[in-house]
Amino acid sequence: MRFNIAAPAVVLTAGLAVTAAPAAATPTAPSARAAAWDCPAGSICLYDSAGGVGRFYTASDGCWFDNIGLAGGGDRATSIYNRTSHRVNLANWNGRAWEHLVHANPGQRFTLPASADNRADAVHVIC
């Protein structure tokens, strides 16, 4: 099953929490034949499997923090493709605080290291 988080996100700015939604977050239709690393230009994509296979999350560029765990997308990401113009961080909620897992620079795509595999609960676009 593929989906995109459409729930409101929390943007942290200078210590203040502001509610916002990721720009143009849209559902991703399932497709057994989707090519590896399929990700629209200007988007962040997360995948269930290594090598950019099984996209389940797509969101547009912008400055935001999206708690994907609240919408059932937590602890799933195995690959990331950042086709935005900003750095993207993945974070894990440990029950008390957000822990930084990895970051993807603009244009970067990779399979997550074992220490971050299936642990991401949030996507944060850094501006």
CATH number, domain at 104?
2.60.20.10
Does residue 108 lie in a domain region? Answer: yes
pLDDT reported for residue 16: 36
Does residue 1 lie in a domain region? Answer: no
Is the predicted pLDDT of residue 124 greater than 60, yes or no?
yes
Is the predicted pLDDT of residue 89 greater than 90, yes or no?
yes
Does residue 117 lie in a domain region? Answer: yes
Q: What is the mean pLDDT of the chain?
A: 83
pLDDT reported for residue 9: 39
3-state secondary structure the chain: CCCCCCCCEEEEECCEEEEECCCCCCCCCCCCCCCCCCCCCCEEEEEEECCCEEEEEEEECCCCEECHHHHCCCCCCCEEEECCCCEEEEEEECCCCEEEEEEECCCCEEECCCCCCCCCCEEEEEC
Percent of the chain exceeding pLDDT 70 equals 74
Does residue 2 lie in a domain region? Answer: no
Domain count, the chain: 1
**21-52 pLDDT per residue, tens:** 454 444 444 444 579 999 999 999 999 999 99
- Rounded to two decimals, the pTM is 0.77
pLDDT reported for residue 13: 36
Is the predicted pLDDT of residue 14 greater than 50, yes or no?
no
Rounded to an integer, the average pLDDT of 99-105 is: 98
Domain extent for 13: 9-126
